[in-house]
Amino acid sequence: MAERVVVHEVGLRDGLQNQPRIVPVEGKLELLDALIAAGVRSIETTSFVSPKAVPQMADAAELCARIPRRADVNYEVLVPNEKGYERAVAAGAPTIALVLAATDTFNRRNINMSLDQAIAVCLTVIARARVDGVKPRVYIAVAPACPYEGNTPDDVVFTLAARLFDAGAAEIAVADSIGAGNPAQIGRLFETLARRHGPERLAAHFHDTRGLALTHTWVALQCGIRKFDSSIGGLGGCPFAPGVTGNLATEDLVFMLNEAGFETGIDMMALRAAVGVAEAKVGHPLGGRIMGWYRSQEQRQAAKANAN
């Protein structure tokens, strides 16, 4: 039996958050339906952040109210603080995600808190979530490197992870938020974290800024990691990190995993249709590297058919 890998779709949140065209609730629901039809079963749908800071997420409560409830789909929302947590719980979110950057400067730019303040907020929200029966997931952002402070020391990530797990975090997603990591660095982080805390409690979140996201995925797979974040069409990029391009494209991740013999439960043809839906909503071309290969194969087959 093929080994299962969970593909956690973040396009509706991380992918749309800095798009210039506001995608209305109806458009987000259409994209959500397309992703579910393709077999995606773990989805970060929105974030309860300030509408002034991130206008794309202003409809978070309405979207949560209209999401189709399915026992086989895990829905998650991002919260930046206690107020966001309270809004998410009121909207019925079963899983919340927090973002804790590994550096002081990135926390200040991202959520207007120092590192110590951000840690305190995370620990408080985790404790509240455990009492409320809500699953708390935490991103350790800029784990390999920060756009403001440079390379992040491995020990900083290890210390933060230990504190978060000790506080009750159900899962930690180690995030290369600006795509600045390298394979050796990613291997060190995941090998150590998996040995100390168990690979089943970890996930990976890679950006493809320098074209290394799939390489990093493969390295993490060798460390036992079986859950990966990705964004349909490669949508994404942090609005608080200059020069950052999109996330790892879901279609690239799924193609590689399926080809390598892992079980994702996701159909590539249906996933390509979801890329088309995402393109229509944001108003510009999308697609990971594998989309060009598919197009070339189709053109080749069409030319062959015409020749006959």
Residues marked active site are found at 238
* Angle value at C-alpha 164, between 135 and 107, nearest 5 degrees: 100
Query: For residues 272 and 41, what is the distance between their CA atoms, to the nearest angstrom?
Result: 16
Query: For residues 297 and 272, what is the distance between their CA atoms, to the nearest angstrom?
Result: 14
Query: For residues 193 and 155, what is the distance between their CA atoms, to the nearest angstrom?
Result: 11
Query: For residues 260 and 219, what is the distance between their CA atoms, to the nearest angstrom?
Result: 13
Query: For residues 113 and 101, what is the distance between their CA atoms, to the nearest angstrom?
Result: 10
Q: Which among 284, 208, 188, 297 has a CA at the least distance from the CA of 253?
A: 208
Beta bridge partners of 135: 95
DSSP string computed for 90-136: HTT-SEEEEEEESSHHHHHHHHS--HHHHHHHHHHHHHHHHHHTPEE
* DSSP E strand stretches across 3-101: 6-9, 42-47, 74-78, 95-101
Q: Which among 98, 42, 47, 46 has a CA at the least distance from the CA of 74?
A: 42
Say which DSSP state 15 is in: I
- Strands 74-78, 95-101: pairing is parallel
